[in-house]
């Protein structure tokens, strides 16, 4: 048998365990967060291990404050990441770092500690960055033609493969073939922007701008033909990446309707779209690579015209010009006929109230005189249409 003291001890320990299970202990958060830029693209965020952590594995999670960003896990007290100004459109980012428990530890994650990171220099003024690659030739596909519209300061370009390992950080190269024209400044660079992620830096004395190179190609030429009741659209795909799917966005306007855009994935097969032969078509297209291929895209190419909407115009002319003429002739003729024969079509009708009045006032008078007095107010319209002999022959004897 258990003594009351033993029972009491047992109950107390059970209660302690229960409390522990229900109110999971919260882990302490990391402290002393700081950051350091390793190069223009790479930041190193570090912190101190919090005091009073249980022994064993200590792990942290971190992510950008943006809820869409990935949560990363680390067992170290620092991490490195590439942060590019043109991807956020700003020169500042906020990271959240917190301590997490191991599975089965039954310890609640710590609160999230924010750390705001500013670029070493303010964001440089630059607009409309474009990097073209020529996919027609293996050699040329490893060369880029990058250009931009600068703000009020001269910008110098350097670039390297994105990443934050020691080797990539040391791989930074400067632009060696700069050029400029009226509107834009640019540089030809030897870099395989199709096979690699290339990080670019445009730097002036006062500012800097960082971005990932997005290779663009000249828009593939759109050719249009007719097959049956369809329009046949085809493009010549660049020889490199030829066998991969390309997504064409085709925007068409027929007659004077609004423009309609559709996406079409092809490995080179033509695309058919219903053709209304009474319409003139305006078509333009742009392309981008499909999934599982490095992202490459083009802007819209030249607008291509096909067909004619003249037949539709002729029908419209007939409707708009000839029909009203026919209609007005008809109306004129019917007016003329109506006027000629108005007394037949609308004979003069005696006024019933007048008849009634007459009857009430002179009940014993002759019907003939009543008829005569009834007709006296109405000769006016009859006079105006006096062409009719029938009217005369009826009215004249009655009035006499």
Ligand X SMILES: *[C@@H]1O[C@H](CO)[C@@H](O)[C@H](O)[C@H]1NC(C)=O
CB of 242 to ligand X, least distance (A): 14
CB of 70 to ligand X, least distance (A): 19
Q: By rule CB under 6 A, what count of residues binds ligand X?
A: 19
Which residue number, 145 or 370, has a Cβ lying nearer to ligand X? Answer: 145
Where does this chain touch ligand X (CB under 6 A) — which range of 9-17, 113-121, 256-264, 357-365? 256-264
The verdict on 263 binding ligand X (CB under 6 A) reads yes
Candidates 141, 140, 147; CA nearest to 126 is 147
Which residue number, 177 or 332, has a Cβ lying nearer to ligand X? Answer: 177
Binding ligand X (rule: CB under 6 A), the pick from 249, 255, 354, 394 is: 249
The verdict on 260 binding ligand X (CB under 6 A) reads no
Burial of residue 83 (CB within 10 Å: 0-12, 13-18, 19+) is buried
Query: In a 3-state reduction of DSSP, which class is residue 6?
Result: helix
Those residues whose C-beta lies under 8 Å from the C-beta of residue 153, and which sit 6 or more positions away, are: 124, 125, 204, 205, 206, 207
Binding ligand X (rule: CB under 6 A), the pick from 145, 197, 278, 373 is: 145
The verdict on 196 binding ligand X (CB under 6 A) reads no
CB of 288 to ligand X, least distance (A): 6
Candidates 312, 303, 395; CA nearest to 347 is 395
d(CA 63, CA 97): 7
Where does this chain touch ligand X (CB under 6 A) — which range of 50-58, 60-68, 99-107, 135-143? 135-143
d(CA 79, CA 72): 10
Binding ligand X (rule: CB under 6 A), the pick from 92, 262, 302, 315 is: 262
Query: Binders of ligand X among 278-307, rule CB under 6 A?
Result: 288
Where does this chain touch ligand X (CB under 6 A) — which range of 50-58, 105-113, 223-231, 261-269? 261-269
The verdict on 53 binding ligand X (CB under 6 A) reads no
Phi, psi (deg, nearest 5) at residue 372: -60, -45
Using an 8 Å Cβ cutoff, are 235 and 248 in contact? yes
Mark 254-293 as b/e (b = at least 16 C-beta within 10 Å): beeeeeeeeebebeeebbebebeebbbbbbbbbbbbeeee
The verdict on 147 binding ligand X (CB under 6 A) reads yes
Using an 8 Å Cβ cutoff, are 194 and 141 in contact? yes
Whole-angstrom distance between the N-terminal and C-terminal Cα of the chain? 148
d(CA 141, CA 241): 11
Which residue number, 92 or 265, has a Cβ lying nearer to ligand X? Answer: 265
Which residue number, 186 or 220, has a Cβ lying nearer to ligand X? Answer: 186
Binding ligand X (rule: CB under 6 A), the pick from 28, 29, 38, 156 is: 38
The verdict on 158 binding ligand X (CB under 6 A) reads no
Binding ligand X (rule: CB under 6 A), the pick from 184, 212, 232, 244 is: 184
Which residue number, 249 or 255, has a Cβ lying nearer to ligand X? Answer: 249
Query: Binders of ligand X among 79-108, rule CB under 6 A?
Result: 80
User: Which helix (H) or strand (E) element contains residue 11?
Assistant: helix 4-22
Which residue number, 147 or 168, has a Cβ lying nearer to ligand X? Answer: 147
Length, in residues, of the chain: 400
Phi, psi (deg, nearest 5) at residue 132: -95, 145
Using an 8 Å Cβ cutoff, are 224 and 231 in contact? yes
Binding ligand X (rule: CB under 6 A), the pick from 28, 29, 37, 46 is: 46
The verdict on 261 binding ligand X (CB under 6 A) reads yes
Where does this chain touch ligand X (CB under 6 A) — which range of 139-147, 151-159, 320-328, 367-375? 139-147
Give me the residues that bind ligand X (CB under 6 A), please.
38, 44, 46, 78, 80, 130, 132, 137, 139-140, 145, 147, 184, 186, 249, 261-263, 288
């Amino acid at each position: 048998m258990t003594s009351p003291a033993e029972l009491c001890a047992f109950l107390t320990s059970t209660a302690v365990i229960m409390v522990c299970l229900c109110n999971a202990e919260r882990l302490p958060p990391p402290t002393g967060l700081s950051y350091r830029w390793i190069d223009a693209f790479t930041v190193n965020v570090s912190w101190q291990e919090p005091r009073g952590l249980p022994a064993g594995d200590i792990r942290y999670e971190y992510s950008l404050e943006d809820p869409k960003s990935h949560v990363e896990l680390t067992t170290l007290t620092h991490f490195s990441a590439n942060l590019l100004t043109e991807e956020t459109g700003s020169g500042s980012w906020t990271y959240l770092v917190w301590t997490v428990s191991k599975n089965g530890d039954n310890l609640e994650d710590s609160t999230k500690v924010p750390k705001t990171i500013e670029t070493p220099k303010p964001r440089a003024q630059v607009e409309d960055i474009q990097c073209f690659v020529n996919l027609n030739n293996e050699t040329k596909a490893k060369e880029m033609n990058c250009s931009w519209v600068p703000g009020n300061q001269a910008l110098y370009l350097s670039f390297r493969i994105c990443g934050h390992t020691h080797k990539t950080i040391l791989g930074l190269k400067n632009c060696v073939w700069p050029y400029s024209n009226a509107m834009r400044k640019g540089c030809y660079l030897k870099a395989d922007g199709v096979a690699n992620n290339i990080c670019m830096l445009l730097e002036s004395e006062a500012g800097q701008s960082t971005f990932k190179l997005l290779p663009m190609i000249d828009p593939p030429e759109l050719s249009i033909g007719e097959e049956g009741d369809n329009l046949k659209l085809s493009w010549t795909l660049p020889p490199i990446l030829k066998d991969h799917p390309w997504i064409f966005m085709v925007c068409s306007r027929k007659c004077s309707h609004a423009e309609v855009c559709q996406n079409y994935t092809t490995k080179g097969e033509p695309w058919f779209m219903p053709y209304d032969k009474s319409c003139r078509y305006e078509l333009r297209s742009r392309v981008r690579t499909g999934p599982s291929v490095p992202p490459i895209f083009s802007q819209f190419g030249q607008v291509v015209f096909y067909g004619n909407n003249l037949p539709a115009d002729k029908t419209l002319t007939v409707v708009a010009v000839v029909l009203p003429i026919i209609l007005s002739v008809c109306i004129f003729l019917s007016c003329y006929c109506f006027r000629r024969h108005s007394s037949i079509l609308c004979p003069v009708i005696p006024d019933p109230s007048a008849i009634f009045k007459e009857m009430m006032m002179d009940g014993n008078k002759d019907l003939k005189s009543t008829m005569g007095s009834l007709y006296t107010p109405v000769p006016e319209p009859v006079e105006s249409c006096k062409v009719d002999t029938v009217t005369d022959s009826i009215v004249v004897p009655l009035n006499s």
